[in-house]
Amino acid sequence: MATSSERDPAGVADAPGLQAVDLRARLRLLQSLTSRGSSEAAALLIPLAILWMASRNAPALAISLLTWWGMMACMALGLMSLRMRLHRQWREFEAGTQEVDAPTLMRWERQLALTGLANGLMWSAAIAFTWSSGNGELRLFVYLALVGVLASGTTFLAPVPVVFWCFFAGIYAPMLLAAPWYFPSKARYLLPLLLLFGATIARHAWGARHFVRQQLAHERERQALADSYQAARIEAEHALAEKNWFLSAASHDLRQPLHALGLMLEATRQRNRDAEVASLLDEVQDCARDLGTMFNDLLDLSRLEGHALVQHPQAVAVAGVFEEARRVFAHDASQRGLKLSIFMPRRHAAVLHADPALLRQMVFNLLQNALRYTASGGVLLGCRRRQGRWLLQVWDTGAGIAPEDQARIFARHYRTQHSQAREMADAQPPSLRGRGLGLSVVALAARHMGVDYGVRSRLGHGSCFWLHWPAQPETRDAEVAASLAAGPPNRLLPQLQGRCLVLDDEALVGQAMERILQAWGVEVSWVRTARQAAAVLADGWRPDFVLCDQQLENGEQGFDVLQQLLQHLPQASGALMSGDLAALEQAQEQGYLVLPKPLQPQELHAVLAHCLAQPRA
């Protein structure tokens, strides 16, 4: 049997995966032994050759040798039967109807070892059957045949020591013991040759076994690496799941105060009549809007890199995105002594059908990259029509990009030698150096949305990064988005008329929603649960619009509540508010209006103005 060192040649602690490797390796070795039919062929042919030799030199041995040949033929049939039985069992293991285990393999090894011993003794019986002959040529021929059989068997039995040594002992021991009497005049020559032959065979068997052990050690190492990789992958998946859980919780908990802040600021601005205070409120509203935008972008970027982002394409006014970019980067450009310019077409309203978060992320990353690597001059952010498609471009007057770098500039963590040399020459601290991620995120987002992207650049003449949107049909949503972008973003919104039922379990958000809707002239009823909403309807109050948050008290799902309410209010319309992208996706697929949090007041006003203006049944 294999020793403990043979079972663990790599010195690695046993593990389920490594034990399985050992079992599979032992099974393969046993299968290789029984897959050969050479033993049966040799058992039938070699005795016939000895019988033919005896018929010429010692005819009196023919009967005894025929008996020995019949015994060998029976042994060959027994070997064939054993091989077929083992093959049937192995097919069952391969089919999965049974499982292989160590006791089963040990039982097979014992069976094969006993078979090998019997086989070897049966071969060495040729010495006994030819003992009475005094013909030296016949006896020498018998020993040569046995030596050949032993050498041949060693080549494929050596990897399984227990089988090999049984077979070796069955043939070699009788040959060695019988030699002084079988060859009385030549024993002193043959015994040293037999001992040398036995040592050579044993050394060859040890080398074959050592090679098998090395192969098994490599296989165990590969399995250990595979197990480590699997454990690391599972750990990474758990970490990703925990991160996604945290992001999901953060998207709900942190969006609520941002959502309420934006609504309260808008309600305050609607009631304010002081021009100086209005200017300050506009600036605070811009900061709150940018904070909410960056928070959403952070969550969306995390999902994008984790391949878990669910896109929500809609009509997006490019002018609004560019205006946000101007507010965010104007101060940075001024500090660097650069001129930040924006170009928009005058004849057509630029509206893209895109995911707002991804579009904003791409524009911001391209603009930030241009400002970082432009020492003097300026940066132009522009949009124009080319071949019936919208083309977004970011031009800069930087040092440019070498042709060999342009093909790799969008790869993750890739940075040109020029940019690294410049940062080192300027002695920029590591915290302010580029990381080679911004452009890779642009490429990743563009591929998600099916947008063409690229760069044109000349060393010493600056660069132009571009995003070429696919052809898009004009839609009513695009016209609405264009009309929203055309007006000033912070103007006083016009008054509305109608009733709105608000369902939200957060007191801060509910109160802010009441105030802003009342400031717009809308009659509001705010409740926390579906039961409270049913009580309001039971009193005869009928809303024209239902605004429902996804997470309500007592674990109620807002989408289910919204569907039930709109079934009882055929004259009303409604929308689902949530920071849960999966919930918004489900509602949107079923044809319901969705409003992602943090909700922008202008967006809410536009929706209400459109829905409350519709004639009622």
Do residues 505 and 481 share a domain? no
What is the tens place of the pLDDT at every residue in 120-143?
A: 898 888 888 888 877 878 888 888
What confidence category does residue 421 fall into, taking pLDDT thresholds of 50, 70 and 90? low
> 241 or 170: which carries more pLDDT confidence?
170
Q: Is the pLDDT of residue 54 over 70?
A: yes
Do residues 460 and 516 share a domain? no
CA 380 to chain CA mean position, Å: 39
Q: Is the pLDDT of residue 174 over 70?
A: yes
Q: Is the pLDDT of residue 21 over 80?
A: no
Burial, 403: exposed, middle or buried (Cβ in 10 Å; 0-12, 13-18, 19+)?
exposed
59-63, 494-498, 548-552: which range is least confident on average?
A: 59-63
Residue where one domain finishes, among candidates 428, 461, 486: 486
> 42 or 432: which carries more pLDDT confidence?
42
CATH number reported for the structural domain that contains residue 537 in this entry: 3.40.50.2300
- Mean pLDDT over 407-415 rounds to 68
54-58, 287-291, 316-320: which range is least confident on average?
A: 287-291
8 Å CB contact between 546 and 563: no
Do residues 168 and 19 share a domain? yes
Do residues 65 and 174 share a domain? yes
> What does the alpha-carbon distance between residue 203 and residue 128 come to, in Å, rounded to a whole number?
28
Do residues 529 and 439 share a domain? no
**DSSP code at position 130:** T
For the chain, the domain total comes to: 3
Do residues 476 and 517 share a domain? no
**SS3 for 499?**
strand
What confidence category does residue 394 fall into, taking pLDDT thresholds of 50, 70 and 90? very high
What is the tens place of the pLDDT at every residue in 573-606?
A: 999 988 777 788 888 888 888 887 777 787 888 8
Is 236 among the domain residues? no
Do residues 223 and 126 share a domain? yes
Residue where one domain finishes, among candidates 230, 245, 269: 230
Residue 95 has a pLDDT of: 65
Average pLDDT value for the chain: 77
CATH number reported for the structural domain that contains residue 407 in this entry: 3.30.565.10
Burial, 318: exposed, middle or buried (Cβ in 10 Å; 0-12, 13-18, 19+)?
buried
Is 427 among the domain residues? yes
> What does the alpha-carbon distance between residue 228 and residue 223 come to, in Å, rounded to a whole number?
8
pLDDT cut 90: percent of the chain above it = 10
> 38 or 440: which carries more pLDDT confidence?
440
Domain residue limits at 90: 10-230
Do residues 478 and 389 share a domain? yes
> What does the alpha-carbon distance between residue 157 and residue 202 come to, in Å, rounded to a whole number?
12
What is the tens place of the pLDDT at every residue in 65-110?
A: 888 888 888 888 888 887 777 777 777 766 665 566 777 778 777 8
Do residues 505 and 476 share a domain? no
**DSSP code at position 553:** G
Residue 604 has a pLDDT of: 85
Q: Is the pLDDT of residue 435 over 50?
A: no
Is 155 among the domain residues? yes
Do residues 408 and 545 share a domain? no
Residue where one domain finishes, among candidates 486, 521, 536: 486
Residue 296 has a pLDDT of: 60
pTM (2 d.p.): 0.42
Is 352 among the domain residues? yes
- Measure Cα distances from 470 to 87, 180, 310, 386, 447 in Å: 61, 95, 20, 11, 12
